[in-house]
Amino acid sequence: MNTTLVKAFGTEAATADLKELNINRREVTATDIEIEILYCGVCHSDLHTARNDWGGTLYPSVPGHEIVGRVTKIGSEVTKLKVGDLAGVGCLVGSCSTCDSCKNDLEQYCSNGWVGTYNGADQYIGGHTFGGYSEKIVVDEHFVLTIPTNLNLAAVAPLLCAGITTWSPLKHWNVGKGSKVAVVGLGGLGHMAIKLAKGLGAEVTLFSRTLDKVQDAKDLGADTVIISTDENQMATVSGKFDLIIDTVPTIHDINPYVAALAVSGTLVLVGYLGPLDPFLNSVPMILGRKSVAGSLIGGIAETQEMLDFCGANNIVSEIEIIKMQDINEAYERMINSDVKYRFVIDMTTL
DSSP state letter for 124? T
| 139-175 residues labelled b (16+ CB within 10 A) or e (exposed) | bbbbbbbebbeebebbbbbbbbbbbbbbbbbbbebeb
Residue closest to 42 by CA, chosen among 110, 94, 93, 118: 118
Q: Between residues 65 and 198, which has the closer beta carbon with respect to Zn ion?
A: 65
Site string for Zn ion, 141-180 (x = CB under 5 A): --------------------x-------------------
Does residue 119 touch Zn ion according to CB under 5 A? no
User: What residue ranges bind ligand NAP (CB under 6 A)?
Assistant: 43-45, 48, 161-162, 165, 185-190, 208-210, 213, 247-250, 252, 270-271, 295-297, 334, 337, 339
- Residue 224 interface partner, choices ligand NAP, Zn ion, none, CB cut-off 5-8 Å depending on type: none
Among 8, 28, 37, 43, binds Zn ion (CB under 5 A): 43
Sequence letter at residue 140 = D
Query: Measured from the CB of residue 43, what is the shortest distance to Zn ion in angstroms?
Result: 3
Q: Between residues 40 and 204, which has the closer beta carbon with respect to Zn ion?
A: 40
Q: What Rg do the C-alpha atoms of the chain give, in angstroms?
A: 20
With contacts defined by CB under 5 A, name the span among 39-47, 112-120, 304-312, 342-350 that binds Zn ion: 39-47
Query: Measured from the CB of residue 278, what is the shortest distance to Zn ion in angstroms?
Result: 27
Contact 180, 242 (CB under 8 A): yes
Sequence letter at residue 262 = A
Q: Between residues 101 and 208, which has the closer beta carbon with respect to ligand NAP?
A: 208
Query: Measured from the CB of residue 260, what is the shortest distance to Zn ion in angstroms?
Result: 26
Cα–Cα distance between 94 and 65 in angstroms, integer? 13
Query: Measured from the CB of residue 127, what is the shortest distance to Zn ion in angstroms?
Result: 22
3-state helix, strand, coil in the chain (%, to 5): 30, 30, 45
Instruction: HSE, CB side, 13 Å, CA atoms: give it for residue 157.
Output: 30
Q: Between residues 43 and 237, which has the closer beta carbon with respect to Zn ion?
A: 43
Residues that bind Zn ion in the complex, under the rule CB under 5 A: 43, 45, 161
